[in-house]
Structure 1
């Protein structure tokens, strides 16, 4: 009898073999993909380099007077931006041409003073791309000298500084420079590491350079203003810049990260916590951009609105500034302001910070009232201090304690002269005379009794 043997693979052996082959295949295809990506990136970069070199050669073959960008400083025949294709890849080619003040013969405003600060031109070509393999860019620099001696360009110099809220340099800020009369239209010019843009050879013009400054990533903006910008502005500030022949027009702009102001409004409740209430508000900063014919100023940052049913509003993307909060108290609104928390109005909003203000109203409205804010010399609110208000030549006298904000409120007064007295152990007494001629707010500072 012949014994038969089973020849072949078990199911487990087949599964193991398939798994091993799958791992090998995945590793192979991963390696293949990496090699392909490496080759493609090298090809893209090589094409970008050839394209940049080609554009730079075109610039070198131009007449010196033509070396400049269209609507640029200096003006010339080179497009500021081009979209070109090579090998199926789309490239953005940007050109930047500037006059250079070489330190060899002195600098403008230096020692010696180089009054002719257009020694030569520097051209920069940047090629940028974005493909399925990623994005990238490269740039090329070249100096182009005049055929003979340097000569006056018929213009002056623009010198623009961009600073942050602390007065430090703001690098990589985006600056637009527009002069419609001379056809200058420079968009998204970048400040250097010192927050500076220096443009010799700017065409002369009186009040024609419109400057706008901002930066990506949640920054505030700044710009120059013209007459009737906004409507009725007769003294714009800062005004559009003027450049005169052989002189330097210099301006400084401030931008920084924006902040947030959270405001709450509530009605005083003598029996418990204040009750949230919706109310109209006007909130404006201290920075101004001009003046109207009647002498009133034009504020740069103004916000009008109404708190919601919970008495809340959040103002986001605010420029750093000192903001006054006005809830329009009065007979029409039917209330007075009896407390700010913190006890500051105006209130400062800092870059990249959230600031809060809680305003408490008092009703019914008093035509004559006094809000006293008591702090020490370090601006710390003084809590639980007796404040006495007495009407001179009358029988009125009231003593109230300051609350957690260092404030106390006297309603239902008369249009009259009052005596104010504050006694706090460890501090010098305050005795003053106050004329109450409406809704008056009186900040007081107590000095230590040394």
Structure 2
């Protein structure tokens, strides 16, 4: 008889090993956790022993010596020290405060306690700075230390400090650093506000404008008293004065820090490097003359950006220091209202400098928000110009730089023409080319590739002059537009207002076909023609209006102006028309408020 031996298959063995591994990993995790808890407990026991030793030492000191070096009360014990236990290093921080017991009245209260230092409260914090294992909080012990004799009247004073945030709420756990080198012994103490955002320094030496107070907190701004200097002769928060048997109350404001991501760009969204701006907040730390808390000059990096961090909540203004450019708009509108714990992006659009320019910002009178699609017109004498807020404008007013320019870098250049267009007689305008005394019948010119910097929506094509000699015939100037998502498409397809190549833009300020929206690069083609060779159409300027992420809201920028007073008209459906004047001299900026 044959006996069949049974065993385990390979799959059964693998499953068993997997189950055992899962159980073993769980057991291992529990063991590691137990070791970690045991380790932390041992560390805390050592920390408690160190803290108890410090407390007992303080209790055995003479009462008048019970204090920290440079602290209030002043004494013989260091504010910070280190000690070794079982090969581990422990950081020991000691704070001793005078306490005003309400039993016999309070300092500054009714009745006024003229000797408010009734007893001392010692707080000892111990933290193992060299230990591992996940300890995140120090061990803290406190002890009350009372005098053995009856208190006597003190000639010192008290310093009460409250710390608020931007909303007026009290800030607990703020670090307060107080120094004074005019008293003996010198004061140099660091303490924190309690859960009510207060710190009361009892029985502190009298001093006239001698106490420097700096209030801070991790991740927060800093507030401080300011000494009188030549540059700030009248600080708004001078060094603190403490008078005998009186309470000096000080208030400080701190809140979470904020950031401004600043960029300087041209109208086509390209970053501009080494552009300097003066940046100032509205908060002052000195008066007569005003000294601002934040007043810096900053410059953009090679990419045209600059990060302004660790900023206090405030209202910030930016003024261009570079003489090669003018501010053509900002996103958002200035000034920047920065709130606590915020990151604000700011883009400043710059245009090549002209002697006189005018930046208009149109806002709702109630909300102060910028208004888009407002029609803005200026005129002076025979000059007039019109723009629409919230739209970018790219203009070409001169073609005398010649052909062969692939990309629109030289604003007087273009890509190609068929030989029928005169670009330099006179310079700045386009005519049909003359052969002898007669103009050619027609001519075409194609612009360089214009980079709008980002995907854009193209709104209108505008050209001047609006009227042509009647002898040139109907539609003697007409345009087509080609766009692409790259600067070098396989072909440029020139289209008219219906989105086909069979039509042309023949009326200035025509809407551009929506088929081009979302593209970044553009070329235009000009077709000139005449019905009488003794006359030629004339083109002095062409503009493409567009919207994109680089278009400043509610703003219009006029440049190349003469100085003087201009008539200004602003219209927007749903709002009352605004008719006023604007004085232009150098870089001029005007804000217009519109009422519904």
TM-score scaled by length of structure 1 = 0.82
Is 1:348 matched up with 2:337? yes
* Residues 1-58 of structure 1: per-residue CA shift (max 9 Å, x gap): xxxx9xxx99999999999999999888777666655555444433333332332222
CA contact (8 A) 1:156 1:246 kept: yes
Mark the CA change 1:39 to 1:281 in structure 2 (over 3 Å): closer, same or farther: closer
Is 1:440 matched up with 2:591? no
Q: How far apart, CA to CA, are the structure 2 residues paired with 1:365 and 1:20?
A: 80
Please state how far the C-alpha of 1:383 moved relative to its aligned partner: 1.7
| Match in the other structure for 1:386 | 375
Q: How far apart, CA to CA, are the structure 2 residues paired with 1:429 and 1:340?
A: 24
Mark the CA change 1:17 to 1:447 in structure 2 (over 3 Å): closer, same or farther: closer
Please state how far the C-alpha of 1:374 moved relative to its aligned partner: 0.9
Helix, strand or coil at the partner of 1:375: strand
Q: How far apart, CA to CA, are the structure 2 residues paired with 1:264 and 1:84?
A: 51
* Residues 228-282 of structure 1: per-residue CA shift (max 9 Å, x gap): 3xx73323342221211122222222222222212222334xxxx3554332222
Find the partner of 1:421 among 563, 569, 591.
Answer: 569
CA contact (8 A) 1:118 1:152 kept: no
Find the partner of 2:209 among 203, 207, 210.
Answer: 207
Please state how far the C-alpha of 1:296 moved relative to its aligned partner: 4.6
CA contact (8 A) 1:390 1:396 kept: yes
Helix, strand or coil at the partner of 1:107: coil
Matches within 5 A, 1:66-81: 66-81=65-80
Mark the CA change 1:334 to 1:94 in structure 2 (over 3 Å): closer, same or farther: closer
Mark the CA change 1:354 to 1:19 in structure 2 (over 3 Å): closer, same or farther: closer
CA contact (8 A) 1:44 1:89 kept: no
Mark the CA change 1:425 to 1:132 in structure 2 (over 3 Å): closer, same or farther: closer
Mark the CA change 1:414 to 1:152 in structure 2 (over 3 Å): closer, same or farther: farther
Helix, strand or coil at the partner of 2:107: coil
**Which 5+ residue runs of structure 2 have no aligned equivalent?**
392-552
Please state how far the C-alpha of 1:324 moved relative to its aligned partner: 1.2
CA contact (8 A) 1:107 1:117 kept: yes
Find the partner of 1:401 among 353, 363, 388.
Answer: 388
Deviates more, 1:69-78 or 1:311-320: 311-320
CA contact (8 A) 2:373 2:572 kept: no
* Residues 136-172 of structure 1: per-residue CA shift (max 9 Å, x gap): 5322222223334333333211122222222222221
CA contact (8 A) 1:336 1:366 kept: no
Matches within 5 A, 1:180-219: 180-182=181-183, 183-187=186-190, 189-216=191-218, 218-219=219-220
Mark the CA change 1:389 to 1:44 in structure 2 (over 3 Å): closer, same or farther: closer
CA contact (8 A) 2:108 2:247 kept: no
Q: How far apart, CA to CA, are the structure 1 residues paired with 2:343 and 2:8?
A: 69
Q: How far apart, CA to CA, are the structure 1 residues paired with 2:579 and 2:133?
A: 77
Mark the CA change 1:281 to 1:31 in structure 2 (over 3 Å): closer, same or farther: closer
Matches within 5 A, 1:4-15: none
CA contact (8 A) 1:371 1:410 kept: yes
Mark the CA change 1:18 to 1:261 in structure 2 (over 3 Å): closer, same or farther: closer
Matches within 5 A, 1:41-190: 41-130=40-129, 131-135=131-135, 136-182=137-183, 183-187=186-190, 189-190=191-192
Matches within 5 A, 1:275-354: 275-278=270-273, 279-290=275-286, 296-328=289-321, 333-344=323-334, 346-354=335-343
Q: How far apart, CA to CA, are the structure 1 residues paired with 2:38 and 2:298?
A: 58
Is 1:250 matched up with 2:252? no
* Residues 372-429 of structure 1: per-residue CA shift (max 9 Å, x gap): 21111212222222223333xx444433322251112233444433332323333223
Is 1:374 matched up with 2:377? no
Deviates more, 1:259-268 or 1:11-20: 11-20
Deviates more, 1:63-72 or 1:13-22: 13-22
* Residues 281-334 of structure 1: per-residue CA shift (max 9 Å, x gap): 22222223336xxx55333323433323443222233222221112225xxx23
Helix, strand or coil at the partner of 1:192: coil
Deviates more, 1:423-432 or 1:171-180: 423-432
Q: How far apart, CA to CA, are the structure 1 residues paired with 2:321 and 2:52?
A: 65
Mark the CA change 1:31 to 1:432 in structure 2 (over 3 Å): closer, same or farther: closer
Please state how far the C-alpha of 1:430 moved relative to its aligned partner: 2.0
The two structures, once aligned, show a CA RMSD in angstroms of 3.4
Count of residues in correspondence between the two structures = 428
Mark the CA change 1:397 to 1:40 in structure 2 (over 3 Å): closer, same or farther: closer
Higher RCO, 1 or 2 (CA under 8 Å, sep at least 6)?
2
CA contact (8 A) 1:100 1:119 kept: yes
CA contact (8 A) 2:114 2:153 kept: no
CA contact (8 A) 2:259 2:307 kept: yes
| Match in the other structure for 2:221 | 220
